[in-house]
Structure 1
Amino acid sequence: MGNETNGGPRDPGSGRVKEQGETVDGIQIRAVGEDEVEEWDRALAVGFLRSHVGRATEFRRRQWEPGRMIGAFDGDRIVATFRSFDAELTVPGGAVVKADAITAVTVTATHRRRGLLRRMMTGDLAAARERGAAVAILVAAEYNIYGRYGFGPATRGHGWNIDLLRAGGLRADLPTVPGGRIDLVSMEELRKIGPELFDRWRVTQPGAIDRDELTWQRHTGEIEVPGFDWKEPFAAVHRDAEGTPTGLAVYKVDDTWDGSYPNCTLTVHDLVALDRPTATALWRYLFSVDWVRKVTVENVGPDDPLPMLLNEPRAATPHAENADFMWLRVLDVEAAFNARTYGAPGRVVLDVEDRDGYAAGRWAIEVAADGTGRCARTTDEADLALDASALGALYLAGETLPRLAVAGLVTELRPGAAAAADLLLRTPLLAWNIDGF
């Protein structure tokens, strides 16, 4: 199964899955019509083991676009679901590439092991490549499913649990924003401020994707989806001396007391900042909220220096749910690798095995002194051999070549090639995606 949380329809483009689909063993795989969205929604709930939740028909209709919502029909019953939409993915260097974002992937327990997922995935990836998507992305609910389709874990979700009494607050020597201020804003104000601020931030973070209007409506409670309990959060906006928003923190506080002693936990759902002093100001604010004794940060960059900002870094312990998060599959090697920048000049030749053909072949990546790179097919002798899944894991530099080589997922064809090529692919910031989809 694949996770399903956010994301509405984007520009549909061309190359959609055929409306008539294909029939295998009496099961027809085809695009869902707008009049079939309610049935598709119920099949999705069953597939995710949430048959008890209410209907989300109107929300699903907002997500529907021709050819992008797929169902497997056993007679009149939908027994598998699949949806994709176009997203913008930030790559190292700040450019964005077109990504096929895959979500809502389920197969009903009664119809497993019949090749339904493979047929839905194969059709969608072919259509995505025809539309000009450089990569496909998804959030994997199960680790062992998507490698067979050429996806590799490209970002990690990382969080912290912070004991405020032990932490002793943030260090006093950290930089601040002269004249900056923090204000709580309403959900209506957040819908106005958040999108522009987020768009400015996401191009600074490799691995981030864009948010559409429907996502902001969900985040702020304008639209509520059955099965995803929404409770109004707090939203704190940081502004510089000129009044321009430079950061945002969205959080909730539970109302827990130990007798007459406050023992509340503040949970951070979103924190984006355009610069380090803004981030510091927002953390300082969050750690100073009355009655709070523990701060849980659900998802922050895996190399974020947050623990080192504390007077006692050991007060921050890793969140239990830290794990691989967004998976990536390269569909157009030249478009993907020509879009990003690199860490050091040099050249590497990759020999990629890809059963579906999109990334198969031998590729030379040449990096100039300014960090720009050029990727093209070559007949030169290869330095490294890997499959499409490993290529997906490496693309955003969320994984290292030496580690993959030690794990047996990359083969060195030239001694020292993994370490040398890793310098080329390295980025100042680790890839990170704040959003499920």
Structure 2
Amino acid sequence: MSLDVRTISRSDLRDWARALNTGFLRPPSVSDEEVADRGSYVDPDRTQGAFDGGRCVATFRSFSQEVTAVGGAAVAANAISNVSVSPTHRRRGLLGRMMANDLAAARERGDAVATLIAAEYPIYGRYGFGPATWATVWEVDVPRAGLDPRWSGPECGGRIDLVDGADVRKLGPELYERLRRAQPGAIGRDDRGWQIGTGLLRLDRHPWTEPFHAVYRSASGEVEGLMTYRSDDDWNDAKMPVDTATVSDMIAVTPAAERALWHFVCSVDWIARVRSGYLAPDALLPLLLPDPRAARTVTYADWLWVRVLDVVQALQARTYGAEAKVVLEVRDGSGLSGGRFRLDASRDGASCRPTTENPGLVFGLTELGAIWLGDESVARLAALGRVTEERPGAAATADALFRTSRRPWCPDMF
């Protein structure tokens, strides 16, 4: 029986959600509440399914997003999520067909890049995506950290207050926007995300436990940081509390806020361990601890992946670390985005245009996605054989242009 790949209708949503749950090894049953919730944000025109005899066996969804480029520009992105193929229908090209449809539509809309967070590393390089940001989780052994046990608040004149979910929904969006505008790799966060994060919207598939929310205010009273965390209830055999605080959200727009919030959560009575949640690999934790060895790396993994759809638009959207010219030959097997381009870059911006000049560097879209936000080294990729240096010194020049002083980071999952 032929496999039909198409956009879904509203009447397909329950079957589509069942296929999605199946692909991610979640219970395949779909409640009325899940159908209603997905119907509130899923755009059928940008949601595909593969159907075998009327039964959905693969899923794919995209939506509009903005991602912050180096320098602070908000770049139009095609965010991809909910990708699954049922185990009975693997290796039949279903993902390739849905991906080709979606990327072509995104290019037609004028999106500069496509983004996703990969459940599995080997899949998406073949479609031109490269890992553009990475994330780290640390676990802090609080007694070993060397922090002052008598600490009672920030020394800088600021203060920390515990607030509730309603306060977070009021204060959080503006604070996050300040972070997003300054943080390469950050994406927009909508009202639904704030509602889920504060328990206003509770989903059957995500059991809810009320968290603690700590807000940092500067000496002038300005909100500069927000941390959300939960604690377990663990006692050892000596009847001593050894609780673990797990951070689920951390927003800090100043170093003072970042330092104060980590010091605060490590100072809470009964907390013996702190799990940081996903942070930028160069976050101030663990080096803000007197003994950084008290923080062990639990996770270090790729996070946001980028596929450039419009090379000129993407390269002109960001700023660069030096002033130089480089000619790039970007290869794209799909025919959507490749070509040869001259980049004239500076700290204030750039001009990029197609050219027939001889290239200094030759590489694929996967490599361009990895370097676009400044995280990956062109020289390192050349050493791996993934970038060809046609002009001596071109890789070093590109590194001086593309690399950033702080690593890019995407705070959110989607």
Query: TM above 0.5, one fold?
Result: yes
Q: Report the identity percentage.
A: 48
Tell me the CA shift for residue 413 of structure 1: 1.0
1:367 is aligned to 2:345: yes
Tell me the CA shift for residue 226 of structure 1: 3.0
User: Which of 318, 339, 345 is the matching residue for 2:317?
Assistant: 339
Change (3 A) 1:115 1:337: same
Distance 1:139 1:308 in 2: 27
User: Which of 312, 318, 326 is the matching residue for 2:297?
Assistant: 318
Written as runs of structure 1 = structure 2, the 5 A alignment for 1:29-428 is 29-51=5-27, 55=31, 56-169=34-147, 178-259=156-237, 260-319=239-298, 321-368=299-346, 370-428=347-405
CA contact (8 A) 1:177 1:240 kept: no
Tell me the CA shift for residue 87 of structure 1: 0.6
RMSD of aligned residue pairs (Cα, Å): 1.9
Distance 2:69 2:323 in 1: 18
CA contact (8 A) 1:139 1:325 kept: yes
Deviations 1:326-352 (A, max 9, x none): 111000111111110111111111111
CA contact (8 A) 2:330 2:362 kept: yes
Tell me the CA shift for residue 359 of structure 1: 2.5
Aligned to 1:143, the other structure's residue is in SS state coil
Q: TM-score, normalised by structure 1?
A: 0.90
Change (3 A) 1:257 1:95: same
Tell me the CA shift for residue 58 of structure 1: 1.5
Distance 1:171 1:318 in 2: 24
CA contact (8 A) 1:405 1:418 kept: yes
User: Post-superposition, which runs of at least 4 consecutive aligned residues in structure 1 deviate over 3 A?
Assistant: 175-179
CA contact (8 A) 1:235 1:251 kept: yes
Tell me the CA shift for residue 255 of structure 1: 0.8
CA contact (8 A) 2:18 2:29 kept: no
User: Which of 399, 407, 410 is the matching residue for 1:433?
Assistant: 410
> Which is further off, 83-92 or 263-272?
263-272
Change (3 A) 1:426 1:87: same
Q: TM-score, normalised by structure 2?
A: 0.95
Q: Structure 2 counterpart of 1:44, which letter?
A: L
Q: Structure 2 counterpart of 1:379, which letter?
A: T
Change (3 A) 1:36 1:216: same
Q: Structure 2 counterpart of 1:29, which letter?
A: V
In the alignment, structure 1 segments of 5+ residues that lack a partner are 1-24
Work out the number of aligned pairs and report it.
410
Deviations 1:215-242 (A, max 9, x none): 1111112222233333221111112234
Aligned to 1:238, the other structure's residue is in SS state strand
Aligned to 1:262, the other structure's residue is in SS state coil
Distance 1:381 1:221 in 2: 56
Change (3 A) 1:194 1:292: same
Tell me the CA shift for residue 176 of structure 1: 5.8
Aligned to 2:278, the other structure's residue is in SS state strand
Tell me the CA shift for residue 66 of structure 1: 3.6
Tell me the CA shift for residue 178 of structure 1: 4.4
CA contact (8 A) 2:18 2:28 kept: no
Change (3 A) 1:273 1:72: same
